[in-house]
Amino acid sequence: MARCQICNTSYSTFSKELGVCLLCIREHSDEAMAIVMGAHVKCRKSFGLPVNPPKEPDGVPCNICVNECRIPEGKAGFCGIRKNINGRLVGGSPDKGRFSWYFDLLPTNCVADWVCPGGTGCGYPEYAYNAGPEYGFKNLAVFFQACSFNCLFCQNWHFKQELLTSPERSVQELVSVIDEKTSCICYFGGDPTPQLPLALKASQLACEQKKNRILRICWETNGSMNSALLDEMIELALSTGGSIKFDLKAWDENLHIALTGITNKRTKDNFIHTEERMRTRAIPPPLLANTLLVPGYIDEQEIRKIAKFIASINPDIPYSMLAYYPHFYMHDLPLTEKTFADRCLAIASEEGLRNVRIGNKHLLS
């Protein structure tokens, strides 16, 4: 069994790369942060990315996300997309970016499939083609190769490699693939946040060319964007029958920083703001939340506090807890146990949430 570097306790469910246990992250946060940030530094350096969000006093400011980088000359921001070239921000424009896409036949394995028009027909006929699942239609899944966080358990970590090697693509190239059988677009990654200007422009162009057809705009995000961009996302999702899916990775801020490298304060604030703006439409559900059940770190206490937070805002917000698959720097953790997932499901209901489920059940051990 591996031992925590602070308390020397041995654990069967413990990440050697992270180096510290959940209890020490909560109770000895200063000492724990010094250790876990070493894992983040190692990770960031291996991909040639800035170790921390740059804060050069004379750097060019980028306010697209919570990191609010001030980027020095010739260097990149934390996301790796934007660079300071001769005193100007280059990269991450509305016209070009680093992303890929593919089509998913509906219904698909989207995080929102269990409550969305594509999977259930919810909102028919205004927002769905069928009264049930949209068989015969497809989702355009747009994967952005950058992120404002640095999750050590990232399930799609290969985007960090692709960020360095993939060519830029144009917004017109993306919009051109949309056809009459495309009933929704979902932006994910990585995360859409660093390249939101492009995603927003692509969405606007797609809506202009849809010619009175249904075309839902959806987002899967860590919720770290600035409020002005968030408001544009909200408007697109609301008007098209789409949704915004927030990944609430942890409740405790120190734990969130240990796992992702970044605070979750902006995410919580944006989640509240989004519900306030989106409560004008109840069907289809416009706002969803999900949490990855990372063994040994996301425990019952975390789930209870997250569920209580969501329920205090709106108990009808759908909440999905996802089974964990060992990956990236936390590959030494096991699969999520079914008994634990079932307890989390019960806890979320106890805290007042009326629409909860466990996703990726095939991964439960």
pLDDT digits 0-9 by tens, 271-287: 999 999 999 999 999 99
- Residue pair 259/153 in contact by the 8 Å Cβ criterion: yes
Whole-angstrom distance, CA of residue 252 vs CA of residue 33: 13
pLDDT tens figures, 222-266: 999 999 999 999 999 999 999 999 999 999 999 999 999 999 999
pLDDT tens figures, 332-359: 999 999 999 999 999 999 999 999 999 9
Q: What percent of the chain has pLDDT over 70?
A: 100
Tokens of 121: 């027909």
Give me the sign of the Cα torsion angle 33, 37, 39, 43: positive
CATH number of 96-284: 3.20.20.70
How many Å apart are CA 137 and CA 14, to the nearest integer? 43
- The domain ranges of the chain are 1-46, 52-91, 96-284
313: Cβ contacts below 8 Å, ≥ 6 apart: 271, 272, 275
DSSP string, 205-250: HHHHHSTT---EEEEEE-S-B-HHHHHHHHHHHHHHT--EEEE---
